[in-house]
A and B are shown apart, each in its own frame.
Chain A
C-alpha cells in the first residue's frame, strides 16, 4: 500500500509535469495580451480624460490650465481613486481638485460631477440642480445619457465604453474635443 501511495503520487506529479510542457509549448501559439485593469481604476482615468478633453466657457473662467473642481457622489472607490489621481503631475497641470459634498450650493458650484450608483435614485434631481450651469455630468448608471446626463460610462464585454449626450453638452455651453467624441457613441446630435 505504501508503494501504491508513492506510485500514484509520482504519477500525479508527472502527469502535471507533462501538462506543463504541453501547455507551455501551446502557449507560444495562443499568446495574447494578458493585462487587465481594475474597472474602477479605468473609470477614474476615463473621468480624468473626459475633463482633460473638455473646455469650459470662458465666462466661467474655467478652461484648460485653470482650476477644475470635480465632485464625486455615490461611489467611495471612485472618489478615493480620483483623489489619488488628483495628486499626480498630469492632474496638477490642469488644476484638478476632487471633493465630495452634499449641499446643493456646493454641487452647483462644481465644474464636473460624477454620480455613482449610490445616487441611482437621486440623479434626476442632481441633474436638475446643475441644469443650465456649465457642469460636466458623468455617471456609470445605465440610461444616464438618455435621461439628460452628458457622459455615461458603460461596461461592455470586459471593456469600458462611453456614450455622450451631445445635446446636453451643447446646452450647458461646454465643448468636448472631437478626439474624444470619435471614440464614444454619440446620442442627441443637433440634426437628430
Chain B
C-alpha cells in the first residue's frame, strides 16, 4: 500500500528525473522550431524549396498541438455575441455552465459543482488571479472591462494545477486584454436598453517612441430582474409590480502601457480601479443572541471597490531562453449587510523557459504571494483579520519526437499554503498531432486548498427549529484532492473548420462543503446552536464529454456549436447521516446533464453583421430549475469605417425565466427578455 508520502516522493522523482532522462535519450533529435521570416530570408533559394510549411498560423499551430481541452473566445466572438459582461461572453465556450441567480450574481463552472462559490475554477485577468481565498471563488459582479479591449478569453477545461497551482481543479479561465499598440486612437461607445439602462466607455490610446499606452473609463447601469414565482416567497422584499432590487452600477477606470524596450525585452504595466454597487435581497439574523429569533428578509446594498497594478517583464536572455517576471498588487474592499472585508495581495511570479533543449521545452517557475485580510466583524459574521502566505515552485517539460508529431508533457507544482502546508500537483500528458488532426491523453492530480472561511469563520446564518444555525470554520478542513483523466481529439476536415471532442473522468476526494452536526452531545447543540461545519464532506466522481465545432464555409458565414454531457455521483464520507445526504443531493443537482450551443454569424453585405446564438441548459437543481433555451441576436451596421451601430436582443424566447435558485448571498430573480442599442465611434 502506498502512503501519501510515497506518492509524493515518486511523483517528485518523476518530475525531477524527466528532463534528465529525456535529455540523455533524445540527443539526436533535431531542435523543434519554426522558421521566422528572417531565417527564411537568409536561406538560399535552393534550400527554400525543401522547407516544410504549415498552413496554420502560429496561434492555430499552438492550439492544434495543445494536449488539453482548450478553447479561445476571440475578441470578434465577444463583440458579435452581443454579450454585455464577461460572464455572458463565457457562454460561448463549450463545457462552461453559466447561470445567474439574478441580474448581478453569476454561477460559473466547468464539469460540475457550479454554485455561487465555484471553488474549482481558477480565474485570472492578464495572469492576475481574481479567485479570492476568502471563500474560494470569484466575485463575478466586480469583474468588468471594456469588452472591446479584451483580446481573447482562454479557457482550459480540466486541471491546470501543474502550472497554475491549486484551485485550478476543473479549469482555468484567463481573460487577456489587448496590447495597447492594438488600441491606438479614440473610441467612444455608448448605449442603453430595457434592462441595461445605460452604459458607455471611452478609451484613448497613443504612443511615445516604442511606448504604447491606453487609458479608459467605463460606466454601466443594469436594472434588476423580475420577482420569482412561487407563491408567497420573498414577498416582503419583492413588492408586486416592481423590479427586484438586484441592480448593478459599475464605474471603472484603468490604463495599460506596453514598451518594446529593445528587440528582446517587453515591459507591460497596467492597472485598474473599480467601484461597483449592487442591490440585494436576502435573509439575515438581525438578532443573534438567544433565545433565537426567526431570520428576517432585507433589501440592501453591496459595495465592491478595488484597485490593482500589474508589472510584467519578458526578456529573451539568450536565444531560446526566455525570462518572464510579474509583480502585482491587488486590493479590494467588500461591504455587505453582514460581511465587511478588505484584502490586499502582493504577488511575485518568475518563470524561465528553455526552448529547444535537446528536443525539449522546459519551464521552471516560482511564485510567492502574501495576502493581508482585515475584517470588520459584525455580530452575524466573524472572521479573523490575518496575513497568509503562499509559495510554490513548478517544472514543466515538453518533449517533441518524430518530427514534432508526438509530444509528451510532464509537469509538477509544489505549493505551500498557510493552512495545510505542502500540496503536490503532478500532471502527465501526451499528444500525437499534425496540422489537421490531434489525439491526446492526460492524467493529473489537482487540489482545492482550504480557504479563510474554512479556517476561523463564525457565521450566524439562520434559525432552524428554534435553534440558531451557525457556520463554523473550525480549521479541520483538509485539501480536497482531485484526480482527472482526459482523452481528446481535434480534426480539421477542411480548412476553416474545426471539430473537437473531449471525454473526462474525475475523482474527488474530500469535497469541501457544509455538515450540520446535530448530535445531542455536541456542546453547541446543548447551548441552542446547530453547528454547521465547513469541512470535507463528500467523495465523488464525475464523467462526461464535450464536443464542439466551428466552420466557415464561406467568408460571409460562420457556424459554430457545442454539446456538453455531465454525469456525477457523490457519496457522503466520512460521515453519513440525515444531514450529509442533503449535501450529496445539492452537489449533484448543481449542474444539468445536458447543454448545447448553436451559433450562426452572417455578413450578407459589407458593413452588415448578423449573429444568432441559441443556448440550451437542461433541468437541474433537482427539477427546481426547468430546462431553458436562451436566444440572443445581434444586428450591426457600419455605415462608415469609424462608426458602428448595433441592436441586440437577449433571452428572446420568453418574457422571463428563472436561471438558477436562491444562493447564500442573495435571493433569485427572474431574468427578463432584454433589448439594447449600442453606438461605437472610433477615430484613429
Q: Write the residues of chain A forming the contact surface with B, with a CB cutoff of 8 angstroms.
A: 1-3, 5-10, 12-14, 16-17, 19-21, 23-28, 30-39, 41-42, 44-46, 48-49, 53, 81, 84-85, 88, 90, 155, 158-161, 179-180, 183
Contacts and interface: CB of A to CB of B under 8 A. Distances in A.
A34 B53 contact: no
A187 B52 CA distance: 24
Contact of A41 (B40, B49, B408): B40
Interface residues of A, dominant DSSP: helix
A21 B38 CA distance: 36
Given A5-B483, A35-B51, A38-B57, 19 more contacts: A5-B509, A10-B2, A10-B11, A12-B485, A13-B11, A13-B443, A24-B401, A27-B359, A27-B401, A28-B26, A31-B30, A33-B403, A35-B32, A35-B52, A39-B55, A42-B51, A81-B37, A85-B37, A158-B54
B265 to A, nearest CB: 19
15 contacts: A9-B483, A12-B443, A19-B430, A24-B22, A24-B24, A34-B31, A34-B400, A37-B51, A38-B53, A42-B35, A42-B40, A45-B48, A49-B48, A53-B45, A90-B41
Contact of B41 (A27, A30, A45, A161): A45
Query: Which 6 A-B residue pairings sit nearest by Cβ, starting from the closest?
Result: A24-B25, A12-B443, A45-B40, A16-B428, A37-B35, A28-B28
A172 to B, nearest CB: 21
Interface centre among B21, B30, B45 (most CB of A within 10 A): B45
Contacts of A53: 45
Nearest to A91: B41
B426 interface: yes
Contacts of A7: 2
Contacts of A88: 38, 41
Contact of A38 (B22, B31, B54): B54
B55 A41 contact: no
B25 A25 contact: yes
A160 B56 CA distance: 14
A84 B399 CA distance: 32
Given A16-B430, A41-B37, A23 B406 contact: yes
Contacts of B359: 27, 34
Contacts of B35: 35-38, 41-42
A129 to B, nearest CB: 23
B14 A23 contact: no
Nearest to B507: A5
B50 interface: yes
B45 A179 contact: yes
Contact of B54 (A2, A31, A36, A84): A36
A26 B27 CA distance: 11
B31 A6 contact: no
Interface string B46-70: 1011111111111000000000000
A119 to B, nearest CB: 13
Contacts of A32: 30, 402-403
A159 B25 contact: no
B168 to A, nearest CB: 17
Contacts of B21: 20-21, 24
B18 interface: yes
A100 to B, nearest CB: 16
Contacts of B232: none
B357 interface: no
Nearest to A35: B33
Nearest to A25: B25
A10 B7 contact: yes
Contacts of A84: 37
Given A20-B408, A28-B26, A36-B53, A49 B1 contact: no
B36 interface: yes
Nearest to A26: B401
Given A6-B7, A9-B443, A34-B33, A183 B401 contact: no
A42 B53 contact: yes
B46 A34 contact: no
